[in-house]
Amino acid sequence: GAVVSQHPSWVICKSGTSVKIECRSLDFQATTMFWYRQFPKQSLMLMATSNEGSKATYEQGVEKDKFLINHASLTLSTLTVTSAHPEDSSFYICSARDRGRPKETQYFGPGTRLLVL
């Protein structure tokens, strides 16, 4: 149980275009989802916290107009990287909190590798 999927698993785009990444909880309802970014050989850095039906909360230094987050249902959150640039190339990982389990526990998706040319 507690499976999180992401789509796509990898994406290549041209500089200036927008890319949407989906995060789904497959077998549970997720009232809260988190988006992380991980650069090569580095740790995970929290970008934003997404609560179903409300606006996302962004960490300091993360541009909310560039990284648009929508959490429209209890099983789906999306991250849109707008006007992507090469420096946005990274591994984007989402996690979800199962409303039926202890709220400290986060289940992670497999990640989406973004390459901006």
Partner 1 sequence: GENVEQHPSTLSVQEGDSAVIKCTYSDSASNYFPWYKQELGKGPQLIIDIRSNVGEKKDQRIAVTLNKTAKHFSLHITETQPEDSAVYFCAASASTAGNKLTFGGGTRVLVKP
d(CA 40, CA 18): 22
Nearest distance, CB of residue 46 and partner 1, angstroms? 6
Quick check: 84 and 18 in contact, CB under 8 A? yes
Using rule CB under 8 A, residue 7 touches partner 1: no
Residue 6 or residue 25: which is nearer to partner 1 going by CB? 6
Q: Which stretch in 12-20, 69-77, 79-87, 98-106 sits in contact with partner 1 by CB under 8 A?
A: 98-106
Using rule CB under 8 A, residue 43 touches partner 1: yes
- The residue from 37, 71, 84, 109 that contacts partner 1 (CB under 8 A) is 109
Which residues make beta-bridge pairs with 50?
A: 33
Residue 5 or residue 18: which is nearer to partner 1 going by CB? 5
Quick check: 30 and 75 in contact, CB under 8 A? yes
Q: Please state, as a whole number, how many other Cβ atoms lie within 10 Å of the Cβ of residue 25.
A: 26
